[in-house]
Amino acid sequence: MKAAIIDAAGAAPHYDDFAEPEPAEGEQIMRVVGAGIHPVVRGMASGRHYGSEGTYPLVPGVDGVAIGDDGVARYTGFIRAPWGTMAERVAAQFGVPLPEGADPVAVAGGMNPGMSSWLPLTARTREVDALGTVLIVGATGMAGRIAVQNALALGADRVVGVGRDPERLAEVSALGGVPVALADGSDAIARALDGTEPSIVLDFAWGEPAELVWQALSRRGLHDDTADIAYVQIGTMAGPTAALPGALLRSRNIVVRGAGAGSTPVAEIMQQLPGFMQRVADGEVVVPVRAFGLAQVADAWAYRGPERAVVVP
């Protein structure tokens, strides 16, 4: 079959023939409709991501939309290496049928970045009476902009979005968020919070941006902290490490945790997939995508535009 192929760690994909997928027990062969090029796809293909098995050559792609023998389009993922979803066919163990009228390219491009915030946000709604203020670090990326929409859709009163790109910060504002430029520092983040404490912080950046947020959340005094803050680490686009001040943990009622494959149970992911997919199908959450043919995978891989690149066999 034709597929995108990566021959070695750090190499870009090329379009060529690859071995047909070999279905294991419980898997079925499905024809791929679209597969998104997400940061996790690049990370795993390069060998840097903790989920990478380091096996080459490989077909990149962690999820996508595919059609089985019954003709039903389904969202699928968890494909066994060295196969991935950027190919004509996959051997898939599960598939969640797309809602009626859903754009398969939007679903292929939006589920991975969208679920990264949908899962911790819905989990937080079960822990608190109301989301109140939500703070998003890295709001100018694809996942961050969808997170703004997800937070508002789940009832947040105020969404503060922190990021670097001025044009995309304007989009955060257009989506209903309060934009804050990272260059303006921790004081600007504190001003945007406007005296409120976030019930949850979604951090797609880590590194220096996380440190600025921790400065903005710092407090002085020995009186009880009335806040209840969940700080959720999702991505490391700004750096793999960040210096977390011990005083913040002692002085604030704050919990720092991660959200991703491994820390989030697969059963929880599967349970939440249909709900978020329906939001995309209804247009409540808008996913900007740009489709590339499978033969143009090199161009798709190099694309760094505001839309999510989706490879469409």
Tokens 């398969």 -> residue: 104
pLDDT tens, position by position, 238-272? 999 999 999 999 999 999 999 988 888 888 988 99
Token pair of 84 as six digits: 């991935």
22-47 pLDDT tens trace: 999 989 999 999 999 999 999 988 87
Query: For residue 261, what is the DSSP state?
Result: B
Q: What is the DSSP string of 145-209?
A: HHHHHHHHHTT-SEEEEEES-HHHHHHHHHTT-EEEEGGGHHHHHHHHHTT--EEEEEESS-HHH
> How far is Cα 240 from Cα 237, in angstroms, rounded to an integer?
8
pLDDT in tens, 65-100: 999 999 999 999 989 999 999 999 999 987 999 999
My answer on whether 134 and 192 are in the same domain is yes
Q: Domain of 214: which CATH number?
A: 3.40.50.720
For residue 164, being part of any structural domain is answered with yes
Q: How many domains does the chain have?
A: 2
Q: CA 210, CA 242: separation in Å to the nearest integer?
A: 7
Q: How far is CA 117 from the centre of its chain?
A: 7
Q: Are 46 and 144 in a shared domain? A: no
Q: pTM, whole model, 2 decimals?
A: 0.93
Check: CB of residue 171 under 8 Å from CB of residue 148. no
Verify that 205 and 134 share a domain, yes or no.
yes
Question: In angstroms, rounded to a whole number, what is the distance separating the alpha carbons of residues 61 and 83?
Answer: 8
> Whole domain around residue 21: which residue ranges?
2-97+285-312
